[in-house]
Amino acid sequence: MGAAYFAAKDAANTQGGGPVVLAVITDMLKESRLEPDEDSQGRDWCESIRVMGTLSYRGTIPPEAISLAYVHRDRKWVEP
């Protein structure tokens, strides 16, 4: 979760607004579109998950697969 928290805070600082972390139901994604995170230097998405805990998805994630997981309030991450 560290990478997600960092990215959320960085985006909020750059773009404005409050940082949030979203959850994605991965069973609703096409496995053929999963790729390694560009920073992981992994050969495939499985290695990227193992090394960094992150991956990328090439395509549009269905809105019904996305939910709000955490918000940053009072200097800590909490569930909404």
pLDDT 10s per residue in the chain (80 long)? 888 899 999 999 999 999 999 999 989 999 999 999 998 888 999 999 998 888 999 999 999 999 999 999 999 999 99
Cα–Cα distance, 17 to 11 (Å, whole number): 9
Question: Can you give the pLDDT at residue 71?
Answer: 96
Q: Phi/psi at 40 (nearest 5 deg)?
A: -80, -25
For the full predicted model, state whether its pTM sits above 0.85: no
The pLDDT assigned to 6 comes to 92
Secondary element (H or E) of residue 4: helix 2-15
Burial code (b: 16+ CB inside 10 Å, e: under 16) for 45-80 equals beebbeebebbeeeeeeeeeeeeebbebeeeebeee
